[in-house]
Amino acid sequence: MTSAPIELQAARSQPDRAAVAKAIAELETSFGDRVVTSQAVREHHANTISWIPNQPPDAVVFPQETADVQKVAHICAKYRIPIIPYGAGTSLEAHINAPAGGVSVDFRDMNKIVSVHVEDLDCVVEPGVTRKMLNENLRDQGLFFPIDPGADASLGGMAATRASGTNAVRYGTMKDNVIALKVVLANGEVMTTSRRARKSSAGYDLTRLIVGSEGTLGIITELTLKLHGLPEAIAGGVCPFPSVEAACNATILTIQSGIPVARIELLDELQVRACNTYSKLKLPEKPVLFIEFHASEAGVAEQSERFGEIATEFGGGPFEWTTKAEDRTKLWQARHDVYWAANALRPGAQALTTDVCVPISRLAECVTETQRDVNESKLIGPIVGHIGDGNFHVSLRLDMDNKREVEAAERFLERLTERALSMEGTCTGEHGVGQGKIKYLPIEHGTEAMAVMAAIKRAMDPQGIMNPGKIF
């Protein structure tokens, strides 16, 4: 496989304009006013929330069922033009851009919760359902879906990008919470990746092949997801530490001790300052951990006490925790609002949020070196981390008119990724590759693994029409 070219031809080339026009005409025959080609709608369906340029598709289609997506795929295959799935548009690495034009498939209208199986702790949903919609629907049944990437992303997009977020330390990532997928392939056929059974050893794990494939191997049109019972009790609180290292060491010991922490989030000093201002908190301006436990009443009390003892061992504390919903909500709202809080550090600036992930034993070193690098680069970049996973975000706020600053940010991003890779880490823990991290992938995986990925891509999408220009 070494001789195979890693870059896929079709991913980069612009399709024939006449072919695009014919494809749109055929789409209009099938879909009527559910095909939109206005500039505003096309631009809205490309990247809008990072510094990667907006590259709009040629048309946007709003399917209502799997058969509609098949129709789109058949037309795109016939004219060899790209097909790009669109969920809620919250991707940070421009997964929804159309660098080679083509048709964006917006799942706005495919937002039904098909079924909830309470006894099996699973549900079947369409890809346009967002995580908040799902959880609102589940609450009365005492269930919840734990994956929480912050944004109210669509579940189809979360599966396609292998999203995770604050609860991953306890509940895993999308790869751990998708049971089966219905997928429209490049040839317009539909496959189901697995049965609804909780586990299986029957053949290749097509579910996990599609999770994280970013629309490059097929388009998800239905998801079967694991659910969890709402915990009897939830306790949460904040704990300050003298240093990032102390916070990391307390986290390592907590996890080693088997304390089943549900969320454990690091905010560095700058992020704490931003949150104090934006969310009207009064936290000490030190590295802090936001922590949450899910268990019985007695369980969360015991876990909170034990965590408090561990924090003290490392010079942290006091750990103030509560089971009161009101107080916890205020805290986690502040955690979810770190993006807006960081914006307020420099109003009007461009946000550039990136993520890397390293083994937790290297996390303190990686975060500390990164903070030093941010300062030496004269950038503004608070840090928030899903510390239990070794995953953290640097959220730069840039003046895009300042060339020096933009160049400094580019060099900083290169160094951040190199640093993570040199520590056995990955260039992205949860944001995905999209367009933004393509160049790091061969460095991370090496020639052979990249050749295997490319061979799979060619085998499943020989024309290269599935979300081209992403991953490869």
Considering only the stretches 46-54, 106-114, 202-210, 261-269, report the one whose residues sit in contact with a copy of itself under the rule CB under 8 A.
202-210
Q: Which of 441, 465, 468, 469 binds a copy of itself (CB under 8 A)?
A: 441
Q: How far is the CB of 259 from a copy of itself (least distance, A)?
A: 8
Angle at 423 between CA 419 and CA 428, to 5 degrees: 65
Q: Which of the ranges 9-17, 194-202, 314-322, 340-348 carries the binding residues for a copy of itself, by CB under 8 A?
A: 194-202
User: Residues with Cβ < 8 Å from 274, sequence gap 6 or more?
Assistant: 338, 341, 342, 344, 345, 382
> Is 37:43 a contact under the CB 8 Å cutoff?
no
Residues numbered 370-389 forming contacts with a copy of itself, rule: CB under 8 A: 389
d(CA 88, CA 131): 11
Does residue 122 belong to the site contacting a copy of itself (CB under 8 A)?
A: yes
| 266/291 Cα distance (integer angstroms) | 9
- The residues near 426 (Cβ < 8 Å, ≥ 6 apart) are 356, 357, 358, 420, 444
Sheet harboring 261-267: ordered strands across? 320-322, 233-240, 288-295, 261-267, 383-386, 391-398, 350-357
Interface pick for a copy of itself out of 197, 313, 329, 439 (rule CB under 8 A): 197
Residue 21 touches a copy of itself, criterion: CB under 8 A: no
> What is the nearest approach in angstroms of a copy of itself to the Cβ of residue 213?
6
Nearest to 343 by CA among 401, 282, 397: 397
Residue 302 makes contact with a copy of itself by CB under 8 A: yes
Taking CB under 8 A as the criterion, the residue among 32, 39, 140, 199 binding a copy of itself is: 199
Beta bridge partners of 25: none
* Range 133-162, binding a copy of itself (CB under 8 A): 142, 161-162
Q: Are strands 228-229 and 261-267 parallel, antiparallel or unpaired?
A: unpaired
38 binds a copy of itself (CB under 8 A): no
Structure tokens at 70: 């098949």
Single residue of 324, 400, 424, 439 touching a copy of itself by CB under 8 A: 424
Closer to a copy of itself by Cβ: residue 161 or 343: 161
**Distance between CA 404 and CA 411 in Å, rounded?**
11
242-261 binders of a copy of itself (CB under 8 A) = 252, 255-258, 260
Q: Would you say 86 or 440 has its CB closer to a copy of itself?
A: 440
Q: In this complex, which beta carbon is closest to a copy of itself, that of residue 274 or of residue 441?
A: 441
The reply to whether 344 sits near a copy of itself by the rule CB under 8 A is: no
- Cα(455)–Cα(472) distance, integer angstroms: 12
* Residue 305 in the binding site for a copy of itself (CB under 8 A): no
Stretch of 195-203, 261-269, 274-282, 376-384 lying at the interface with a copy of itself (CB under 8 A): 195-203
Pick from 8, 430, 436, 464 the residue near a copy of itself by CB under 8 A.
430
Give the whole-angstrom CA distance, residue 147 versus residue 127: 15
426 scored as a contact of a copy of itself (CB under 8 A): yes
Identify which range of 64-72, 341-349, 393-401, 455-463 contacts a copy of itself by CB under 8 A: 455-463
What six digits make up the tokens of 18?
Answer: 């006449």
Buried b (16+ CB within 10 A) or exposed e, 202-218: eeeebbbbbbbbbbbbb
CB 107 within 8 A of CB 72: no
Q: Does 189 bind a copy of itself (CB under 8 A)?
A: yes
209 touches a copy of itself by CB under 8 A? yes
Contact flag: residue 191 with a copy of itself (CB under 8 A): yes
Q: Which of 281, 351, 421, 463 binds a copy of itself (CB under 8 A)?
A: 421
